[in-house]
Amino acid sequence: MISRFGWLLLVGVTVLPPVDSYLDAHMSRHMLIQLPVLLGLGFTAGHVWRSLRVRHLALGLGCTLFTLGSIVFWTMPLSLDTAVLSFWVDQGMHANMLVAGWSLALGLPSLAFYAKMAFGVYGLAMILTAGVVYSASLSPVCAVYSIQQQHLTGKLLCVLGGAAFVMLVARGALLLRASFIPGRDSKADA
């Protein structure tokens, strides 16, 4: 498990120049490296600092919806452009993605298997949709990134989103199959 100091160091390295400038310079690095890393660091923070636990389904749903909303917001072209052009918006994006990851770590354990699968499928559908839009658009959707960067990012979103979708469905099928085997508790696996 990562230590608190190590977590702070990783966050600092990710959000401060020159790493932040390097990640923001290319659309695929911004969307496929920086956003997931910040979300993952936030998710890790939810496990490193275990002072708060969500025990009610409504709060778990709210935390998960907050995470999905944050991802949708920061993958929109205007949000991407503004984050690259404004230092303060970029720092706000960093903070929001860290909080979104932390929120996911708090809310996800309180959800039932079916809710987790539904949110996973919905999230991956959003990623695949963004990938199709970015790769199929004939004109630049983002003002700060070139059409070539946009097409590459769209193709990578489709490939990675498709692979994640296959893995999610396979994991769900294995967990469902295990729930039908007598003497086996599927809730322990989820």
- pLDDT band (50, 70, 90) for residue 50: low
What token pair was written down for 123? 């999230």
d(CA 28, CA 153): 5
The CB density around residue 168, as the number of other CB atoms within 10 Å, is 16
pLDDT > 80? residue 26: yes
Report which residue type is found at 82: T
d(CA 18, CA 153): 22
Whether the full predicted model's pTM is greater than 0.75, yes or no, is yes
Percentage of residues in the chain having pLDDT higher than 90 = 53
- CB–CB of 123/75 below 8 Å? no
d(CA 32, CA 37): 8
Least confident of 6-10, 55-59, 90-94, 115-119: 55-59
Using DSSP, state whether 94 is helix, strand or coil: helix
Per residue in 55-76, pLDDT (tens digit) is 666 777 888 899 999 998 998 8
Cα 186 from chain centroid (whole Å): 26
More confident residue, 64 or 178: 64
User: What is the widest separation between alpha-carbon atoms in the chain?
Assistant: 57
Report which residue type is found at 141: V
Query: What is the pLDDT, as a whole number, of residue 160?
Result: 94
